[in-house]
Amino acid sequence: MRALSRRGMLGLGAGAAAAVSLAGCGGLTGSDDSGHADGSGGDSAQGGSKPKPEPTARPIGDGSTAHTGKQPHQPGRPEPLEPGQTPPQFVVFSWDGAGEVGNGLFPRFLDLAKEHGASMTFFLSGLYLLPESKKRLYNPPNNPRGASDIGYLTDAHVQDTLKNVHRAWLEGHEIGTHFNGHFCGESHGSVKNWTPRQWRSEIDQAKSFVKEWRTNTGWTDLPSLPFDYDKELVGGRTPCLLGQDNLLPTARELGWRYDASSPGGLQVWPRKRQGIWDLPLQQIPFPGRGFEVLSMDYNMLANQSLNSTKAPAHNYPGWRKQSAQAYIQGFKRAYETNRAPFFIGNHFEQWNGGIYMDAVEEAFQHIAREKEKGADVRLVSFRQFTDWLDVQKPEVLDRLRTLGVGQQPAGGWREFTGPASTPSGDASQNAA
């Protein structure tokens, strides 16, 4: 693997080998029937309350998925920012691939989210629900039938992934997509070169592997996934953050609401591209270095060990601290200045002794403690954040977009978002 540029590391699928090129708010108020009103998900059951029975499932298709009613542990209905109100600090932790491969990382972070009443987004790779014995069912654009740059899971790990995806949705998390074969680089087969029509084929196949896992595996003793994936799937992240331009027309045609595939962004308030919210990973401070790093575990690794996932262990303590502090400083910069949403991407991996998983947990704990001390912090999924964006007044979002990275609002938030504030910038960007 060749070394990546310092500034433009790209995201990979779970366990994937490297690929690279230069890359690159009013509160959520009210509550649902699970009692959550803080803009996050999680379990807020009170002592002595009776647990609610799991809803009766109504099978869809072959029973791989099912209608089970409203998703539990969702925040209350979002409300527009009031004049003079400070925007909440939204933080989204997301996971590419979302396969459980026997390292316990999927349940580890589900437990962490539940402990702190948080929601996350899991970008599931469709192939992680397809047994390798059925790999020829996958016909990837510009690649041989059955090909995959991330391989296939064992049958046992497919079952573990099903179990954890099932749990994740019931605990309030979003199930997006990381598509299928994770083809990166510059070759003809790379997602970088796919047409909108080929993206449609890839998406249709990713959805079919989720919606037909029972047929493809022959397993009849496992429960259905408790959601309708046609309705649940409203966004994704492409392999290596490549191919967004040709994906967006297809995403719009399918009614997707956001895309997290932009090859590197800044800590500013987002815009729409082709009618889709563009929610990129962001450049954040990299302690001790004169440049910033993209907010993803792989990009920390690429800067620290030049793509090696098994560097000498004496480096690990310092790298772990540096990675955790990068996330923490990125959060702090946004929270103390423009309140831009903070997006973090990761993989269920054990690179360099697992230091990046420890680092993201440390950062998560830090952010959660700030929330629990009274900071207006919302640990949400991309879908939940998009719900909030969609009810804001366009002129308010235009005003927020005038704030640069690390820029505080002139005169304070009361004046900046007050009734006398005059939006600037191109208002049409909100609906572009």
Neighbours of 24 (CB within 10 A): 18
Share of the chain above pLDDT 70, in %: 84
What is the pLDDT, as a whole number, of residue 419? 85
Number of domains in the chain: 1
Res. 253: pLDDT tops 70: yes
Q: 3-class DSSP state for residue 197? A: helix
Please indicate, yes or no, if residue 414 is contained in any of the structural domains: yes
**φ and ψ at residue 273, rounded to 5 degrees:** -125, 125
pLDDT band at 54 (very low <50, low <70, confident <90, very high): low
Contacts of 117 (CB under 8 A, 6+ apart): 36, 38, 40, 41, 42, 43, 44, 379
Task: Supply the range of the domain harboring residue 388.
Answer: 79-431
Query: Nearest Cα to 212, choosing from 230, 199, 236, 239?
Result: 230
Please indicate, yes or no, if residue 289 is contained in any of the structural domains: yes
Distance, CA of 96 to CA of 261 (rounded, Å): 11
**Mean residue pLDDT across the chain:** 88
Please indicate, yes or no, if residue 5 is contained in any of the structural domains: no
- pLDDT top residue among 37 and 304: 304
Instruction: Report pLDDT digits (tens) over 378-425.
Output: 999 999 999 999 999 999 999 999 999 999 999 999 999 998 654 444
Res. 35: pLDDT tops 50: no
Distance, CA of 327 to CA of 337 (rounded, Å): 16
Helix (H), strand (E), coil (C) string for 103-171 = CCHHHHHHHHHHHCCCCCEEEECHHHHCCHHHHHHCCCCCCCCCCCCCCCCCHHHHHHHHHHHHHHHHC
**Is 51:40 a contact under the CB 8 Å cutoff?**
no
Instruction: Report pLDDT digits (tens) over 190-244.
Output: 999 999 999 999 999 999 999 999 999 999 999 999 999 999 999 999 999 999 9
Please indicate, yes or no, if residue 111 is contained in any of the structural domains: yes
Distance, CA of 311 to CA of 294 (rounded, Å): 20
pLDDT band at 51 (very low <50, low <70, confident <90, very high): low
pLDDT band at 56 (very low <50, low <70, confident <90, very high): confident
Please indicate, yes or no, if residue 48 is contained in any of the structural domains: no
Distance, CA of 331 to CA of 257 (rounded, Å): 24
Distance, CA of 41 to CA of 75 (rounded, Å): 6
What is the pLDDT, as a whole number, of residue 299? 96
Please indicate, yes or no, if residue 226 is contained in any of the structural domains: yes
Q: State the number of CA atoms in the 13 A half-sphere of 365 facing the CB.
A: 11
**Is 178:225 a contact under the CB 8 Å cutoff?**
no
Please indicate, yes or no, if residue 270 is contained in any of the structural domains: yes
Q: 3-class DSSP state for residue 42? A: coil
pLDDT band at 50 (very low <50, low <70, confident <90, very high): low
Report the chain's terminal Cα–Cα distance, integer Å. Answer: 38
Please indicate, yes or no, if residue 1 is contained in any of the structural domains: no
Average pLDDT for residues 243-262, to the nearest whole number? 98
**Is 129:162 a contact under the CB 8 Å cutoff?**
yes
* Cα dihedral 134, 96, 171, 163 in deg (nearest 10): 30
What is the pLDDT, as a whole number, of residue 420? 64
Query: Nearest Cα to 3, choosing from 14, 19, 23, 24?
Result: 19
CATH number, domain of 204, equals 3.20.20.370
pLDDT band at 264 (very low <50, low <70, confident <90, very high): confident
